[in-house]
Amino acid sequence: MSGAHRGLVVPVLWVVAGLALVVQVLLVWTSRGSLSSTSPVDVVALVRAGSLTSVSPLSAWSLLVLPVLGAGLLVAAPARHLVVRRVRAAAGLVAVAVAVVLLADLVHLDPSRFGAGAWVTALGASVALAAVVVEVVSRRGKELS
């Protein structure tokens, strides 16, 4: 792989992760049950109104953390400055952690229960984790050479 192509891999991974984490908020998270026709934006509104008690307020608000982190990853995707790259990696790891907690809480990590939002979130978290790994490996390779 040429240097120019290698330099595009990490930013493209961050863009994909960021887009997935932003878009998930518009999609339903479960394929069955009370949340199977409700997006995270609607869930937060229902929890705030007291109409939905099966989802904790912390989980509901955490659903909105992911698109904020995703937007940050999108903005920081092309960054080359070391401090920005480290903050981006930390934000990516926080997004992965939040996604795993939400997937465990809302769909019990059971793929048969995943709705489109859960799948897109899992994709975004996986790609964010891959971006961190690729960035660390490529940085270590540059330090060793």
Residue 43 lies in a domain: yes
| H or E stretch covering 35 | none
The phi and psi torsions of 142 (rounded to 5 degrees) equal -70, -35
pLDDT tens-place string over residues 44-95: 888 888 888 877 888 778 888 999 999 999 999 999 899 999 999 999 999 9
Residue 23 lies in a domain: no
Separation of CA 102 from chain center? 11
Characterize 61-75 residue by residue with b for buried, 16 or more Cβ atoms within 10 angstroms of its Cβ, and e for exposed: ebbebbbebbebbbe
Q: Which two tokens stand for residue 101?
A: 């907690």
Q: What is the pLDDT of residue 119?
A: 97
Q: What is the pLDDT of residue 144?
A: 57
Residue 110 lies in a domain: yes
Residue 6 lies in a domain: no
- Sequence-ordered list of residues with C-beta below 8 angstroms from that of 86, at least 6 positions apart, any chain: none
The phi and psi torsions of 114 (rounded to 5 degrees) equal -65, 130
Q: How confident is the model at residue 6 (pLDDT cuts 50, 70, 90)?
A: low
Q: Cα separation of 95 and 34, whole Å? A: 25
Q: Answer with the residue of higher pLDDT: 66 or 35.
A: 66
Q: Is 114 in a helix, a strand, or coil?
A: strand
**pLDDT score of 1 more than 60:** no
Domain that holds residue 85: 28-140
Total domain count, the chain: 1
Residue 7 lies in a domain: no
Residue 17 lies in a domain: no
Q: Which two tokens stand for residue 53?
A: 């008690």
Residue 12 lies in a domain: no
Residue 62 lies in a domain: yes
Characterize 34-58 residue by residue with b for buried, 16 or more Cβ atoms within 10 angstroms of its Cβ, and e for exposed: ebeebbbeebbebbeeeebeebeee
Residue 30 forms beta bridges with which residues? 114
Residue 64 forms beta bridges with which residues? none
pLDDT tens-place string over residues 107-136: 889 999 999 999 999 999 999 999 999 988
